[in-house]
Structures are given as structure tokens and as C-alpha cells.
Structure 1
Amino acid sequence: MWVAMYHSVDNCADDPYKITVSPERLAAQLRWLRRQGLRGVSMTRLLTARARGEGRDLVGLTFDDGYTDFVDHALPLLRRYDFDATLFVLPGRLAGENAWDPLGPRKPLLTADGIRHAAAEGMEVASHGLTHIDLTRADDRLLWQETSGSRVALSDLIGREVEGFCYPYGTVDQRVVDTVRAAGYRYACAISPGPLTGVHALPRVHIGQEDTALRLQLKLRLNRLRRRAVREPAVTG
């Protein structure tokens, strides 16, 4: 099971954290998936198919942080290729900016209307916490607000149950995993969760501006080798 991790889709001239892909590069990457006989889908769709023993041709597409450029640039490309994706957003920073990145550049985040628009266009909207903090450093009360509180707020915003969570910075420990599970999420995405890997700590592969077709092919092969011995989580519904 391959899950691609994106962030911003915009001009890459000022990108100190290497989290941005240009619209042209994203289009090329989506075309490459198509040529491989693969289809990009949301996490819920991917996990549901795999739980049925299906979906070997599906790839999870995830976009973290909820930047405005998702609607401006990523969404039209996803629709063009008949893909969908999971958008992890921060209901505590609606219409804000990525203040957690000290080096900048400042990128605007989606408004409530923008998030609802993405959902109406068939994208899965899921939680990235309320405000993008390292959850492993939060006390129990703050951790519950960031997990359960964000789920309630986001479910109210889009008018449907939110099923997925994504750990800010990819940082996770057993206490955080247990809290996310207790908050009612069906799954959660991390980056490289190691021994915590499971349905509430799913690994993902970073995709960036430098990922040409050759690099994508290498990442896909390496991912298959790493995951071959890992039992996939069962998610139904």
C-alpha cells in the first residue's frame, strides 16, 4: 500500500522546507501514476478497498495543512485525471497562515468555504489537529482538544463525520496514538512511525518538486520492499 504525502502546490522559488510542488510537476506526477495503471484516491477509499482484498491499483493521495493553493491548483488537476485525495486541514486556523514554519514563506490556509468546496468536489476532508502543534509535547487536556476537538469542529463545518487524522510534523508516540483512537478516528497518517505502524499510524512517502518519473519509480519499488512483510490494517465501511 503506497500513500503519497503532499503539502503545497504552488511556485517553488522560495521553499526552505521542500514541501511545495509546482502545478506543472504535480500534473506530471499524476500522469505518471496513470501510465503505471494506478489511480490516486482518498485514504478512506484506499483502506476500504484494501480491507476487501481489492485496490492493488490504488494509491493514497494526501495533502497536509490545507493551503489555499489546494483548491487553486491541486483540485483542478485531480479532477482532470479523475483522482480524489484526502485533505488534512486545521479547523483552528481557518483563513490563517502557516505560522508554525519559522522560515516561511507565509502561505494562506483555506477558509471554511474553501474546505466545504473541496468536500463538495469529492475530496475527503480530514483533521490535521486544531493548530499544528507537536502532539507528543502536549499535556493530556491540550492533546484531547487538538484531536477530539478538531474532529468535532471539522465535522460540524462540513456536515459529515470526519474519519481521518494526520499527525503534525509526523511526530507520534503511543499516548498520542491511543488518544487519536479514543477520539473516534478510523485511521491516522504519520510519516515513518516505525513499530507504531498500524491503522492509526500509517506511513507515507514524501513527494516533492524533484520527484521525476524515475524518482517516483524508485520510491514505489522501495515502498513495496519495505511494506512486503507488513500486515495491512483492516478498515471497513
Structure 2
Amino acid sequence: MYHSVGDRSADPYGITVTPDRLDAQLGWLRRRGLRGVPVAELLAARARGGGRGLVGLTFDDGYADFVEHALPCLRRWGCGATLFVLPGRLGGDNAWDPLGPRKPLLTADGIRHAAAEGVEIGSHGLTHIDLTEADDATLKAETAESRALLSDVISAPVTGFCYPYGTVDARAAEAVRAAGYAYACAIDPGPLTGPHALPRVHVGQSDGAVRLLLKTRLHRLRRRSCAEV
């Protein structure tokens, strides 16, 4: 689970990695015989009884720096990824982060450019709110309406969803399922773990070879409950 790739001079939430660090992390994966792929590709491979050696890579929020900095790294290492974007904030910024700094988000053209490069585009909701606190109308807009808007942007079906802040409860998961998404990503969904609440591991600037090795081993334990996904 990545977010922004770029300047880390101000990073109060620890969501940014530098391009050099991302490049080193992807290189670490490849040297271990692993390859980053979109989540949909990973799930399809697992459904066929495969998927060994594949790692789902996700980038949340749809920052504009994805096209400038992340895409070249992904190309260099032959990796794919899923980019979760906010169709209600196209060309805006991360106004939901009170401490800033303000980071520009991709425009519709930027999202289409990423899609044309083979990046899977998924929804992160409309505006980046905690779905566990949303009323019924807002929950529908953040799930079903965001999917419809994003499908119009990329002229293709949108099958993946990502819960803002990683927070999910049974009601939010059911809304995502009802909206027609094939899967959804969380962070550590506990007993809700399954196709519509997939666990992920945050990867940050401090994650070198040793920390990445530990995180991959620990994640194997966390994902056992979704072994049939």
C-alpha cells in the first residue's frame, strides 16, 4: 500500500516515498523473484490456483505525482499496480489532511493516461470520507455513484474499491458489494477479511530490505483467513 511518490520535505502522515526509495523497493521485489501487479490480476491468478510470485501493488488517493514518479519506476521493473482515485476531487488536492501539505490530485486526463499505461483504476470513493460514519445517501454516493463516474472517465468497468483511511465495517462492505465491485481493499479488517475487505501492508520511506522481508512474512499470517479469495 503506497500513497504519494515524490518530495518528502513535509510529510506529517508518513504517506510519501521518494522515487529512489520506490525504485529500490521494486528492485528488491524483483530480485526475490516477485513481481508487482494490479490487484485484479492477482485475484484472477489466485482464482485459477496460481499467483505464486505475484504481489498486489496499490497507490491510494490518486496523487498527480503517480504519473510523474511512480509510473517510470513501475515500467523500469516490469511491474503493474492499482491506482485508487477520487472522481469527486479530480484535479483537486488532499483537503482531507488537516496538517497538509497540499498535494495535487490527478485530473481526468491524468487518470486516463495511467489507464492507458496498463494501470488498473479503482475507486477510493468520491471525496475521501470515513464510510463507517456516512449516512445511507452518502454511502451510496461514495460507492455506487463514484463507480459510475469513474467508469465514464476511463470508458471501462471499475471493479476495485479502496476504503478511505482503511476503515471498514459490515455496512460499508455490503454497500461496496451492492455497488457491483468485485473486490475492495482495506488495511487490517480482522474478521471481515475477504474479497470485499482485503488486508494490505503499508510501505513507507523507512522500509528497506530487512523491514520489507519482515512485512512480507507477517502479512502471510494476516492473509490466511482470506486464502480462498
- Using the size of structure 1 for normalisation, the TM-score is 0.95
1:202 aligned to 2:221?
Answer: no
SS of residue matched to 1:117: helix
C-alpha displacement at 1:223, in angstroms? 1.2
Gaps (5+ residues) in structure 1? Answer: none
2:133 to 114, 124, 137: 137
Gaps (5+ residues) in structure 2? Answer: none
2:225 to 202, 216, 230: 230
1:23 to 19, 23, 37: 19
Give the residue type in structure 1 aligned to 2:175.
Answer: T
Matches within 5 A, 1:139-218: 139-218=135-214
C-alpha displacement at 1:91, in angstroms? 0.3
Matches within 5 A, 1:94-109: 94-109=90-105
Give the residue type in structure 1 aligned to 2:145.
Answer: G
SS of residue matched to 2:121: strand
Paired with 1:231 and 1:63, the residues of 2 have a C-alpha distance of 21
Structure with greater contact order relative to length (CA < 8 Å, sep ≥ 6): 1
Among all aligned residue pairs of Structure 1 and Structure 2, give the percentage whose two residues are the same amino acid. 72
Paired with 2:191 and 2:221, the residues of 1 have a C-alpha distance of 17
C-alpha displacement at 1:201, in angstroms? 0.2
C-alpha displacement at 1:183, in angstroms? 0.1
Paired with 2:141 and 2:62, the residues of 1 have a C-alpha distance of 19
1:219 to 200, 205, 215: 215
C-alpha displacement at 1:226, in angstroms? 3.0
C-alpha displacement at 1:15, in angstroms? 0.5
SS of residue matched to 1:177: helix
Paired with 2:39 and 2:170, the residues of 1 have a C-alpha distance of 22
Give the residue type in structure 1 aligned to 2:164.
Answer: P
Q: Is the 8 A contact 2:199 2:222 kept in 1?
A: no
SS of residue matched to 1:28: helix
Q: Is the 8 A contact 2:195 2:226 kept in 1?
A: no
Give the residue type in structure 1 aligned to 2:146.
Answer: S
Paired with 1:232 and 1:43, the residues of 2 have a C-alpha distance of 15
C-alpha displacement at 1:215, in angstroms? 0.5
Paired with 1:232 and 1:158, the residues of 2 have a C-alpha distance of 31
C-alpha displacement at 1:55, in angstroms? 1.2
Deviations 1:19-41 (A, max 9, x none): 00000000000000001100000
Paired with 2:199 and 2:173, the residues of 1 have a C-alpha distance of 13
Deviations 1:127-181 (A, max 9, x none): 0000000111110011000100000000011000000000000111100000000
